[in-house]
Amino acid sequence: MPGECPRRGISSTKCLRHVLTCSLSRQVTTEKLSDKVLLNVFRYYLDTCPRFWPRLVHICRKWRRIVFTSQRALHLRLFCTHRTPVLRALDCWPALPIIMEYGGSLALNPPVPEDEDNILAALKRSDRVSSIHLTVTKSLMEKLSSIEEPFPKLEDLVLLFQDYMGPGLPGALRRGQSLRRLHSTGIGFPASLQERSSRDLVDIQLHNVVVRDAYLSPEALANALSRMAQLRSLSLYLHSSASHPDMGILPLSAGEKRVVFPALTHLKFRGTSWFFHRFMVRIDPPLLGDIEITFNGSRFVVANLCEFIDRIEIQKSPRRAEVLFSGNAVSISFTQPGAPWRPELRISLRPSNW
């Protein structure tokens, strides 16, 4: 187990000693503390260092009993990360929810080949996996196809693909019935977003997606997201290999209705103005207050953008607007009485890489 508290920058043992010292008077020792007091101390300690609960159960039988009889109150999780002996941990600890942390971010190292067997061992306990942060290599991608059982308790899925892996999520990861957050980098439009299991998604981040008609189109994206009434945050970083000169306002076809996003408050988009214009004409986000747009290219149609903003309820009738120009970017902030926050629109242009 790691020996340092990630939030305090001190060893976990010193962190616990500090908590106990602050909780005790000079006349009281830990042996005399009631179970309730110890449970509160443990809760405070694990709120700061959640992965260090095994240290508590090794102190004495009393502490072990309190920890294992309060698994839910202490939010105990089994953390599987680099060089963790997963097979041994699965056998010796209770059937706790599993947190997998093997990368999943450009700032974190991917799993080494020795980790792959541990990753598969944890994923095969699919009924216990609640969070996955994973950098997927080519060799690991091939092994993931052997996982067939769904993940009924998976809420948090963050995948970073080192190489472009095509249009779909690997194997059974498509079937997360309780999924709340989906972040992926280096994969095409996941077809799983159109399944029932995606209806509870609150946060979607699709980065480094190559736009091709077979993988992702503005129409397909709007239709897929139409099921997600709870969606609050949407981030799209798209690459397009084709040129689309037509950037005029494209009205909806006969019988086509806009998709309403009643909970969407944050939208980040990076890609071509062609894709954004065709996507935004199909959506209606009344509470959208934070908009960040970066267009690949040197132009966009202001009228299209104004028409989109005019459909946002929270942006209407502002008392004050502040406009800030900086290089190739513009930031517009609206002040409106009674609004829960200060809506802001940020637009920037950058030369296309295609």
Confidence band, pLDDT 50/70/90 cuts, at residue 233: very high
Q: What is the pLDDT of residue 130?
A: 92
> Residue 232, class by beta-carbon neighbours within 10 Å (0-12 exposed, 13-18 middle, 19+ buried)?
middle
Alpha-helix runs per DSSP H in the chain: 12-23, 35-48, 53-57, 61-68, 86-92, 113-123, 138-144, 218-225, 273-280, 302-309
Confidence band, pLDDT 50/70/90 cuts, at residue 51: confident
Task: Note the residue count of the chain.
Answer: 354
Residue 268 scores a pLDDT above 80:
yes
Measured torsion, CA atoms of residues 155, 73, 42, 134, in degrees rounded to the nearest 10: -10
Sketch the domain layout of the chain as residue ranges: 1-76, 77-316
Q: Are 309 and 345 in contact (CB under 8 A)?
A: yes
Confidence band, pLDDT 50/70/90 cuts, at residue 86: confident
Q: What is the pLDDT of residue 210?
A: 72
Token couple for 43? 């809760």
Positive or negative, the CA dihedral 152, 156, 162, 166 is positive
> 258 CB contacts (<8 Å, ≥6 apart)?
252, 281, 282, 283, 284
Q: What is the pLDDT of residue 341?
A: 63
Share of the chain above pLDDT 90, in %: 10
Q: What is the pLDDT of residue 218?
A: 82
Angle at 19 between CA 14 and CA 24, to 5 degrees: 120
User: Does domain 77-316 sit in CATH 1.25.40?
Assistant: no
Mean pLDDT of the chain: 77
Q: What is the pLDDT of residue 68?
A: 92
Confidence band, pLDDT 50/70/90 cuts, at residue 73: very high
SS3 assignment, position 212: coil
Max mean pLDDT range (67-71, 215-219, 220-224, 311-315): 67-71
Residue 214 scores a pLDDT above 50:
no
Amino acid at 314: I
pLDDT digits (tens, 9 = 90+) for 136-162: 887 888 788 778 788 888 899 888 887
Mean pLDDT of 19-38: 67
Confidence band, pLDDT 50/70/90 cuts, at residue 333: confident
Residue 70 scores a pLDDT above 80:
yes
